[in-house]
Amino acid sequence: MKRQVKTTMMFFIPALLALSSVASAGIAGITGAPCGGVDTCFNLTARAGHIALGDGNSLLTWSYGDDDGGTGQMQYPGPTLIVTQGDVVQVTLNNTLSEPTSIVFPGQIGVAASGGTAGQITNEATNGAGAVTYTFTASEPGTYMYQSGSHAELQIQMGLVGALIIRPAAGGEGTAYGSASTQYDREYLFFLTEMDRAAHEAVELGVPVDVAGYNATLWFINGRNGPDTLHPDNAGWMPLQPYGSLAQMEPGERVLMRIVAAGLDMHPFHHHGNNAWIIAEDGRVLESSADASAAYPDFLPPSRTGLELLPIQSLVDRGATLPDEAVSNYTVLVSPGSTYDSIFTWTGIGMNWDIYGNRPGHAPGDCGAMQPDEDPNGHCQALESLVTLPEQQAMTFGGLWTGSAFLGSLDALPPDQGGLNPNGGFSYMWHSHTERELTNDDIFPGGMMTFMIIEAPGTLD
């Protein structure tokens, strides 16, 4: 088989330009519509198509396409289905693939199937033999997935998988589970999968697939390898991979990370910049009883001046809490078939210097009022390295360097340096901590890699 080969680095710089985009506060997906007395209906078709890889190659993939508002093509992963708790949900599946397929909905109870033919787990749709309809009540809010229930050892890694998000019926907009302890300001989906290139090429050639010899060489977030993960949703050159995974926030915001382990391998998802609090697993809140919560923890460690722990004041002022059994960690150990909801917050607390030191009232010797969510220990504290900053001629400049150490600030740079960080944000790589998974077919950089960008207040919508 002849394959187009391009180097990853040819695509790395254009992808980094996506860092200048403005993030939305929601998750891209489809919400369905009522039909025949059912609250929410979706019509999907299992199809084949070639997805783009982060190194410029392409690969045959199977996945689901949206028959209602879609383009007549499949997308990888399948459309994110967004429903409301209490909805009666109907999903109708057609099949254009060469073998029977089906859908199962882990975490949902009482799923009824009609049409098609009987399979080992549920009714299956066969090419040319009619559709299967699955019906269930979305009884519990949370982050879930849906996936093939047929020949799963092949069909799931071929791409027949997608996310299901059930929003709470009560508790107000901006909560994951209907309680104040699960509130958030922005939310992002991190849908983690992997593929064995050899299996996909065998399917395309029509030869037997060695599923027992499974060996993943490609790793994805939301259906894209890095650095394509950094491009915005619906990038025109990736029509079958509409979902990006670049995350952005402003200091003090609570970001809900919806993490789905939709593949066959474990992926330790590591988020630089701060710990996150795991508030739910597999659609169930980590709490000792219904709505049991605890005050938002004090992140700030004792400073070098010996001050006591200090709270993130603005979060405390608005009554911020977490489920009382939430777990803090810097890496989510993502087990196959599981989902996780985590709250990530970044304020600059604990850095012991003033991230707003470029603004009036923040320079050492000219101290005014603190910014919301500012580190009380860092206010007007100089960044020590700035005192001894070497001459620019002796420095190495990365594309994200703005010439300034301060949030939202752009200062002078040598010619042809920087330019990939027009808002002056702080960038943290978020990625798998299994280092090989940062490659595309063993070529770095790529794979399960994205960024969180902390933007200056007032930058984002």
Of 265, 210, 269, 204, which is closest to residue 57 (Cα–Cα)? Answer: 204
Are 68 and 42 contacting, i.e. CB atoms less than 8 angstroms apart?
A: yes
Average pLDDT on 297-319 reads 54
pLDDT tens for residues 260-271? 999 999 999 999
Looking at residue 389, what is its pLDDT?
Answer: 57
pLDDT tens for residues 348-402? 877 778 888 888 888 777 888 777 667 777 788 877 655 555 566 666 678 888 8
The band of 298, judged by pLDDT with boundaries at 50, 70 and 90, is: low
Looking at residue 4, what is its pLDDT?
Answer: 39
Taking the CA of residue 302 as centre, how many other CA atoms within 13 Å lie in the half-sphere pointing to its CB? 5
> CA of 197: how far to CAs of 47, 213, 365, 445, in Å?
18, 12, 60, 18
pLDDT tens for residues 233-267? 999 999 999 999 999 999 889 999 999 999 999 99
Q: Is the peptide bond before 77 cis (omega within 30 degrees of 0)?
A: yes
Q: For residues 136 and 108, give the distance between their C-alpha atoms in angstroms, rounded to a whole number.
A: 7
Whether pLDDT at 299 is above 60: no
Looking at residue 309, what is its pLDDT?
Answer: 44
Q: Which residue has the higher pLDDT, 417 or 300?
A: 417
Average pLDDT, rounded, for the chain: 87
Q: For residues 23 and 250, give the distance between their C-alpha atoms in angstroms, rounded to a whole number.
A: 11
Longest dimension (CA), the chain: 78
Average pLDDT on 417-424 reads 87
> Worst-scoring range by mean pLDDT, 18-22, 193-197, 204-208, 420-424?
18-22
For CA atoms 3, 6, 214, 65, give the dihedral sign. Answer: negative
Whether pLDDT at 162 is above 90: yes
Q: Fold for domain 9-180?
A: Immunoglobulin-like (2.60.40)
Whether pLDDT at 96 is above 60: yes
Looking at residue 434, what is its pLDDT?
Answer: 95
Average pLDDT on 209-219 reads 93
Are 454 and 426 contacting, i.e. CB atoms less than 8 angstroms apart?
A: yes
> Worst-scoring range by mean pLDDT, 33-42, 225-234, 306-315?
306-315
Average pLDDT on 404-429 reads 88
Average pLDDT on 114-136 reads 94
The reported pTM is: 0.91
Contacts of 20 (CB under 8 A, 6+ apart): 420, 421, 422, 423
Average pLDDT on 437-460 reads 93
The band of 303, judged by pLDDT with boundaries at 50, 70 and 90, is: very low
User: What are the boundaries of each domain within the chain?
Assistant: 9-180
Looking at residue 194, what is its pLDDT?
Answer: 97
Are 191 and 207 contacting, i.e. CB atoms less than 8 angstroms apart?
A: no
Q: For residues 160 and 119, give the distance between their C-alpha atoms in angstroms, rounded to a whole number.
A: 16
CB-count burial class (<10 Å; 0-12, 13-18, 19+) for 186: buried
Are 77 and 28 contacting, i.e. CB atoms less than 8 angstroms apart?
A: no
User: HEC profile for the chain?
Assistant: CCCCCCCCHHHHHHHHHHHHCCCCCCCCCECCEEECCEEEEEEEEEEEEEEECCCCCEEEEEEEEECCCCCCCCCCCEEEEEEECCCEEEEEEEECCCCCECCECCCCCCCEEEECEECCCCEEECCCCCCEEEEEECCCCEEEEEECCCCHHHHHHHCCEEEEEEECCCCCCCECCCCHHHECCEEEEEEEEEECHHHHHHHHHCCCCCHHHCCCCEEEECCECECHHHCCCCCCCCCCCCCCCCEEECCCCEEEEEEEECCCCCEEEEECCCCEEEEEECCEECCCCCCCEEECCCCCCCCCCCCCCCCCHHHHHCCCEEECCCEEECEEEECCCCEEEEEEECCCCCCCCCCCCCCCCEECCEECCCCCCCCCCCCCCCCHHHHCCCCHHHCCCCCCCCCCCCCCCCCCCCCCCCCCCCCCCEEEEEEECCHHHHCECCECCCECEEEEEECCCCCCC
